[in-house]
Amino acid sequence: MKKLFLLLIYFFVFAYVATAQNALPNTDIFICDVSLKNGKYSFTSLKNITNREGYDNQPSFIDNNTIIYTSIREDKQADIYKYDLKTGKITQVTKTPEDEYSPTLMPDGKHISTVRVEADSTQCLWKFPLANPNDFSLILPDVKGVGYHCWMKENELGLFILGEPYTFQLAAVNPKVNNEYNVNIIDSFIGRSIQKVNYNTIAYTSKHNPNSWCIIALSYAFATSSDNYWGKAGFGRKYPSDVYILPEGSEDFIYGHDKAYWVNNGNKLLRFDPIKDKDWKAVFDFKGTPAENFYRIAFSPDGKKLALVSYVGKKP
């Protein structure tokens, strides 16, 4: 009886672990060249840079020739890798017992920040020096449940925080006072996209209306006096926000170097210029290409390269 009990425990634990591992989608990362001529965009030289079974996702450019991304390999660990567009070389950046996701270049250009999933499933924000990734450290020690993030300035960032409901929060760090920080809840029922628009405007996906998701572009100001930069006054104030309705079924938008919003919709890539356009415009259809089923996108800083995340099966 005891052996049967132990076998049942083993079976259920194994089934749980297998289910958790299979929960992540089978994804690849493609890159292509981007050009604009006579007002028309072209996307050419499409290339699969990961080209394997498993999870390769969350691409982010750290310069015009280097992509960092999350990859889960044979060891079942989520680590950060980088891809050199000039040489095609892939290099592992992080190698830890924990899982790292959402790699992002920090404003100092010397570190990347990642969402790190601890052994107890706690999700916090960590930073890794590009020159020595083994010298990593925690950024916001008391902020748990970080899902995604976006840097605004060297000491200011937006956070997607897990919970019921998901919340959008802004954090300010005071480097003059032992890196103490203040975190403010700004909104709830948000999506996973957060993008910097300019030095004091940040955009995120709002899901308050489940039938009509939208982009909210929020302009804000933190209090700047030495007494309340991070303290009680903290957040300062919000300004009126701009709201842009997303195409049905779209969530993962980016803000490009051309000062326009970009999003996928089905097999198509759509663009919206808030100054010139009244609605989203389809600029390219990837149907019939190896990357026709895609959702996440990322531009290089100069806008001449586009990374796309393709998926197999149901859209993540």
CATH value at residue 268: 2.120.10.30
pLDDT at 24: 86
What is the 8-class DSSP label of residue 98?
S
Please list the residues that pair with 16 across neighbouring strands.
none
- Over residues 226-258, the pLDDT tens digits come to 444 333 334 555 666 899 999 999 999 999 999
Domain membership flag for residue 205:
no
Asked, for residue 216, whether it belongs to a domain, the answer is no
Mean pLDDT of 212-217: 96
Radius of gyration of the chain (CA): 20
Q: Does a structural domain hold residue 57?
A: yes
Q: Residue 32 falls within a domain, yes or no?
A: yes
Contact 168/142 with Cβ under 8 angstroms?
no
Specify whether the CB–CB gap between 123 and 115 falls below 8 A: yes
Higher pLDDT, 85 or 15: 85
If you average pLDDT over residues 67-90, what whole number do you get?
97
* 229 in any annotated domain: no
> Is residue 163 included in any domain, yes or no?
yes
For residue 10, being part of any structural domain is answered with no
Q: What's the Cα-to-Cα distance from 296 to each of 30, 67, 139, 301, rounded to whole Å?
A: 11, 14, 26, 16
Q: What pLDDT does 241 receive?
A: 82
pLDDT digits (tens, 9 = 90+) for 256-281: 999 999 999 999 999 999 999 999 99
Whether 101 shows a pLDDT value over 90: the answer reads yes
CA 211 to chain centre: 23
Q: What is the C-alpha end-to-end distance of the chain, expressed in Å? A: 42
- Can you read off the two tokens belonging to residue 67? 């992509």
Retrieve residue 1's tokens. Answer: 């009886």
For residue 276, tell me if it sits in a domain.
yes
What confidence tier does 200 reach under pLDDT thresholds 50, 70, 90? confident
Tally of domains in the chain: 1
**Entry pTM:** 0.87
At 148 the pLDDT is 98
pLDDT of residue 228: 42
Helix, strand, coil content of the chain in percent (nearest 5): 5, 50, 45
Retrieve residue 166's tokens.
């998901």
Q: Above pLDDT 90, what percent of the chain? A: 77
Task: Please tell me the predicted confidence (pLDDT) of residue 172.
Answer: 87
Q: How confident is the prediction for the chain on average, in pLDDT? A: 88
Cα separation, 188 vs 61, in Å, equals 28
pLDDT tens digits for range 3-16: 443 334 333 333 33
What is the residue range of 282's domain? Answer: 27-189+249-311
